[in-house]
Structure 1
Amino acid sequence: MADNSKDFKLQIISPDRIFFDGETDMIEVKTTEGEMGILKHHIPLTAILTPGILRIKNGSEERIAALHDGFIEILGDRVTILAESCEWPDEIDLNRAKEAKLRAERRLKGAEGNINEARAEMALRRSLLRIEVVEKYHK
C-alpha cells in the first residue's frame, strides 16, 4: 500500500532537551551551503547548520525558532537535527539579546588582538538572530 502522507518524523535535540519531536510536512533551515527546504522523501543528506531561522510547517500552520549551529541528517521519512541550541520566540529575552549585541559590537570595534574575534562575531550573529525572531515572530 502506498504512503500518501506528506508528513515525516522530525526530531530536534539540543544538549539540554528534546526541542521538538513530532510529525511535520516541511522544514526550512540554514546550512553552510545556503537555505534548504526539506519535504518527505528528500534525498539522504547530512549537512552542517549555521545560525538561522528554523521553520516547521504543517499545512497552513508554521512554527518559527532560532536555531544556533548544529547538524542535520535527512533519511527519507525521518529528519534529525542535533542543535547546539534552539529557542522558540517566547523563550528569548529581547533585552538580554540586545545587550549581547552591544557587547559583541564593542568587542569587535576594540579588536586589537586580545579578543577572540571569531567568537565575538558568532555572539553578534546569535544576538541578531534572537532579536529578529522575537521582533518578527513573537505574538
Structure 2
Amino acid sequence: MFLLKVITPQAKVRLIHTSILNLVTPSGEMGLLSHHMPIITMVKISKLSTIEEEQRHLYAVSGGVLFYKDNEATLLADAFESADEIDLDRAMAAKERAESRLASKDPDIDEKRARVALLKAMNRISLKE
C-alpha cells in the first residue's frame, strides 16, 4: 500500500490508500505499485483507477502532474472526481457546448480550449455510464 494525495485548484485534498495506481501519461498507460522508483510525469485527461481495500475505484482526472517518491504519490490535478460525484446532466451539457463551439465558424472561438473542454466532458460521461 502507498498513499495517493490528490490536490486540486479548489484546495480539495483527497487521501487515498491504494495498492495499485493506474493512470494515463503522454507516453501511454502506467501502473504504479508500492516501492516504485521516484517519478514525475504529466497525467492526461483520462480515467484513473486505484485498488483500495481490494476494491477497484475509478476516477475522472482532468489532467495534471504526478510526483511519486518514498511510497507517496502526489497528484496535482485540474479536477478529480469519482463516478458518484459526477453530475451526468452537467457533463452532457458541457459536451454539447464544446461541440457547438467547435462546429461554430466564429473566428473568436478558442478551438484548443473547446477541444479540451470536449475531452473533459467525454471523460466524465464515460466514467458515469
What TM-score bracket applies, with the shorter chain setting the length?
A: over 0.9
Q: 2:100 aligns with which of 101, 106, 111?
A: 106
Is 2:44 aligned against 1:50? yes
Alignment of 1:85-124 (within 5 A): 85-124=79-118
SS of 2:79's partner is strand
Once residues 47 and 15 of structure 2 are traced to their aligned partners in structure 1, the CA distance between those partners, rounded to angstroms, is: 18
**1:35-94 deviations in whole A, cap 9, x for unaligned?**
111001112110111111010113530111111111000114111111111011111111
What is the TM-score of this pair, normalised by structure 1?
0.86
What are the ranges of 5 or more consecutive residues in structure 1 without an aligned counterpart? 1-6
The number of equivalent residue pairs is: 128
Residue equivalent to 2:69: 75
Q: 1:27 aligns with which of 16, 21, 44?
A: 21
Aligned-pair CA distance for 1:96 = 1.1
Alignment of 1:58-73 (within 5 A): 58=52, 60-73=54-67
Seq. identity, %: 34
The letter for the 1-side match of 2:126 is: E
Residue equivalent to 2:121: 127
What are the ranges of 5 or more consecutive residues in structure 2 without an aligned counterpart? none
Moved over 2 A (4+): none
SS of 1:42's partner is coil
Once residues 105 and 45 of structure 2 are traced to their aligned partners in structure 1, the CA distance between those partners, rounded to angstroms, is: 23
- RMSD over aligned CA atoms reads 1.3
Once residues 70 and 35 of structure 2 are traced to their aligned partners in structure 1, the CA distance between those partners, rounded to angstroms, is: 4
